[in-house]
Amino acid sequence: MKRILILNGPNLNLLGRREPEIYGSQTFEDYFETLKPLFPEAELTYFQSNHEGAILDKLHEVGFSWDGIVLNAGAYTHTSIAIGDAISGIKTPVIEVHISNVHAREPYRHHSYISAKAAGILVGLGLKGYELAVRALLA
């Protein structure tokens, strides 16, 4: 059975309450419960942290033995050289996901320290982007 980690960064614990006009009204935990049954052939695990070091630790922990990582690094996408370096340093493929279309938002959101190191990128497809990322990792 393939193991896939869904890793969310800062403020994504507020999904369902934070700016629902951008991010929707569903919590990630509720979405995750609807996502798991779509992939009986995979072990999906979810981890969220508002702390950059915890995200780095999780990448290091699973990055040599798991089959895939779906990463929404939130605002760290645009600021964290360390997360980009961690992705370069691990073997597990990472797919970068953003719920909103970051290229249609503020200019500082247009740059990612992750994109060049990711196996793929899904942007602006809402929570559906996570499902598509898992499908890509399992293909």
- CB of 71 within 8 A of CB of 46? no
Catalytic one among 31, 46, 76, 98? 98
Please provide residue 9's backbone torsions phi and psi, each rounded to the nearest 5 degrees.
-95, -155
State yes or no: 100 annotated in a binding site: yes
Q: Is 98 noted as a catalytic residue in this protein?
A: yes
Q: Which residue, among 59, 46, 37, 68, has the nearest Cα to 138 in the 3D structure?
A: 68
Q: What is the largest CA-CA distance in the chain?
A: 41
State yes or no: 50 annotated in a binding site: no
Q: Is 46 noted as a catalytic residue in this protein?
A: no
Tokens describing residue 94 = 């990472």
State yes or no: 109 annotated in a binding site: yes
Q: Find residue 42's DSSP bridge partners.
A: 2
Other CB atoms within 10 A of residue 59 CB: 23
Catalytic one among 23, 46, 76, 113? 23
State yes or no: 103 annotated in a binding site: no
Where is the binding site, in residues? 72, 78, 85, 99-100, 109
Where is the binding site for substrate, in residues? 72, 78, 85, 99-100, 109
Active site residues: 23, 98
